[in-house]
Structure 1
Amino acid sequence: MEGDNKVAQGVKELIYSKYINTDLKENKGENKLALVLEYLKRDLIAADFKWSLFISATHSFRYDSCLRPFPSMYLKDDVKDIDLMKEDIFKIPALTHLVKFLKDSEKYQVEASTIDLLYWVLIQQKEPTLKSIPNSEFDNVLKLVQSELFARRPDYIFKVEYCRESMMERTWTSIKENNETLFAYHGSRLENFHSILNFGLQNKNTLFGQGIYLSSELLVALPYSQNGCGWGKSLIGPELGVVALCEMIDHPTINCQSRDGSTDKSRTETEDSVVGEVPHKFYLVPNSDLVRVRYLLVYSTTPPYMHNQLESRTFFGWLKKHKSATVLFAYITMLASVGVSIWLKPTNIFNYFTK
């Protein structure tokens, strides 16, 4: 452990000594570039997903409402310079390549504005944090909700962790003390999740009344989570769909059908409902203080098992897969080029035609 810390510190010192832009210095002398590198190394897939959510909000035509919070360095006289931010986003390579660049700062240079933006998204927006869940633990997560209908298994699952001392978490804990909790799903467009993670789920006004809609069936939530455009360089795919697995407090103000088989109808209909009772399998939560996002289920148009297949279909993917053949081909090409260059000497050509 001590050795790892020394290596990490050495990386920070190396990068700091080579990357002299003073805009990257923290008030305490810490280096944003080194901190971004350490963050990426800790959980690259989770960092990639968090960045993809930010990108999706950025490219939404509703970015004024989706991109909350907004990076302050792109605010000029209270005007959001979204075009300048998109220019900086375009400069950022795939995160696997970025890790390589940041490790070898003598060879590669990274613009300060791009590091500032990555630092703001990945580190400065520190709550909540995302943690990738291994595939072997997917069933344990999905068992939190007792669903009856079959639904497609997610390609990725990320755990959402909050700081216990945050105002939102303390409010949740105080309400939860005398109430049980249960889990349910909430579907939303990809572009909304940057804001959802930072501000919680927001009320919607529909036919059954105003509130946050959840369902005990993943199959019911999925249609509300249609695939949206994320980041074209993402490790998990450029198009994603996300369903939030939420924990909610079983508070009397939540509207739902009876779950114990009783005929009690006191919680089945809201005062502002237009069409009557809340349907079976649905929960209508009156405010965000009663619900917390615990996991994000992610569906990709290019799921994990396809990444290697897609890569192998490309020319560079073939070269990577057939290294021995590539080396042999390169050697033969070199010999052939040497032979051709010798034959093409003027003296050789003259001798050939004057024999």
Structure 2
Amino acid sequence: MERGDIERRVYEMCRRSPHGSYLMVTAFVQALRSYRCSSVCTPFPTALFHTAGDVKDKDYQAAEGAVQKFPAIDLISSSDSPREVDANEISNYFNQIQAMPLESLNLLYWLLHPRYQLELVQNPAEELSVVLPLRAHNGCQGNDFHILSSPDYIMRVQKVRPKNGEDLQTEFETTKMSLGSIFAFHGTSAENLHSILRCGLLNLSNTTLQRNGAIFGEGTYFSTDINVALTFSKAKEGWKDSCFGKNLKYLLVCEIAKGEKVFYTDKGGQSLIKASNSSGPADGSYIVVQNSDLIRIRYIFVYAETRVQYENKVSARTDNSDTRACERLLGRKDWCRILIWLYVGLLLGVAYLK
């Protein structure tokens, strides 16, 4: 593919979904800088292997260098399209994409072609109403969804259509049609998102990649309680130019088809029952899925420790009530920090006087 074609495609992808592009780059950076990069930074662009064909010989330093030359996505998406530049002037015109080294351009193009497409949800309370009944036991009803979870951004996840345009009916669709489905939450370390976006959410039980215990046996674990799932979400520093902020963590909202290898914990939380033999999980239940083909990631909740200004950020909260609720929650956290420091100062003052 010619460089000009790559430039146009990168521009189009950044323009179509700037937040999605930011997240894909950020997830790669988080994996790249992890102490587990040999496993979580998978897949890895073949152009950046030290030795062609040797999957264990990844050039992390070259990847880091290429990322350092990335411009901010909003600079790409707000610049003029290379298609609109007159051929006689193109030699004198360099927008953010054209100024990138070829290695950086190729890496960015590769990163923007994952298994899933990501788009920012404009009206979270309305769109995610299907998830709300799962957490009624937490005392939140209706549009109080954002008060419970308080994500800073919500990304819609859509599987990339096959190049031939044909949608083959999968095991997920056929099982969902016959047995139904359920939504649940899955917490994961931020460094895992890159691999998840490119490979899907896989059952890694009894492999060297398993990171958590499996009290109910092998499988991918979910919870109907968002607060339980959040305890498994671990933050990590991301891309310095990300519109989301510096340190991010994620929560996956998944739809699970109730097939034969899907189980719920019983009301006592002591044993598993087959989802196909049950009307639905009890409040606060764990869901264990042993067949990854029965899982679909529908949304990604993005939690940022520090939010940054971005021209499109206002679209993340078109509902003013959502904004006020998040601000109230964040305000409570800030007051807690202030009271703790005041108490520490009081103790130090008393100790000094004595």
Shorter-chain TM-score tier: 0.5 to 0.7
2:2 maps to: 25
Is 1:206 aligned to 2:184, yes or no? no
Structure 1 unmatched ranges of 5 or more: 1-23, 270-277, 309-355
Distance (whole Å) between structure 2 residues aligned to residue 297 and residue 200 of structure 1: 16
2:301 maps to: 297
Where in structure 2 are the equivalents of 1:1-355 lying within 5 Å? 25=2, 31-77=5-51, 78=54, 79-99=57-77, 106-108=93-95, 109-123=99-113, 125=114, 127-134=115-122, 136-141=123-128, 143-145=130-132, 146-147=134-135, 148-149=137-138, 151-163=148-160, 165=162, 170-203=170-203, 204=205, 206-258=214-266, 267=273, 280-303=284-307
Tell me which structure has the larger Cα radius of gyration.
1
Q: Percent identity?
A: 27
Distance (whole Å) between structure 2 residues aligned to residue 53 and residue 85 of structure 1: 13
Give the number of aligned pairs: 268
Pick closer, same or farther for the CA change 1:75–1:179 going to 2, 3 Å: same
Q: Given that residues 230 and 251 in structure 2 are in contact (C-alpha distance below 8 angstroms), is that contact kept between their aligned partners in structure 1?
A: yes
Pick closer, same or farther for the CA change 1:188–1:221 going to 2, 3 Å: same
Q: For each residue in 1:128-177, what CA deviation from the matched residue of structure 2 results, as whole angstroms up to 9, or x when unmatched?
A: 1111111x234431542420226331111111111455899723223333
Pick closer, same or farther for the CA change 1:168–1:128 going to 2, 3 Å: farther
Distance (whole Å) between structure 1 residues aligned to residue 310 and residue 121 of structure 2: 18
Equivalent residue of 1:235, what SS?
Answer: coil
Q: Structure 2 length normalisation: TM-score?
A: 0.67
Equivalent residue of 1:161, what SS?
Answer: strand
Distance (whole Å) between structure 1 residues aligned to residue 179 and residue 76 of structure 2: 46
Equivalent residue of 2:14, what SS?
Answer: helix
Q: For each residue in 1:290-342, what CA deviation from the matched residue of structure 2 results, as whole angstroms up to 9, or x when unmatched?
A: 211111011111246x779xxxxxxxxxxxxxxxxxxxxxxxxxxxxxxxxxx
Q: Amino acid of the residue matched to residue 186 of structure 1? A: H
Equivalent residue of 1:131, what SS?
Answer: strand
Q: Amino acid of the residue matched to residue 144 of structure 1? A: V
Equivalent residue of 2:170, what SS?
Answer: helix
Q: For each residue in 1:67-98, what CA deviation from the matched residue of structure 2 results, as whole angstroms up to 9, or x when unmatched?
A: 22110100232121111111111111222234
Distance (whole Å) between structure 2 residues aligned to residue 129 and residue 293 of structure 1: 11
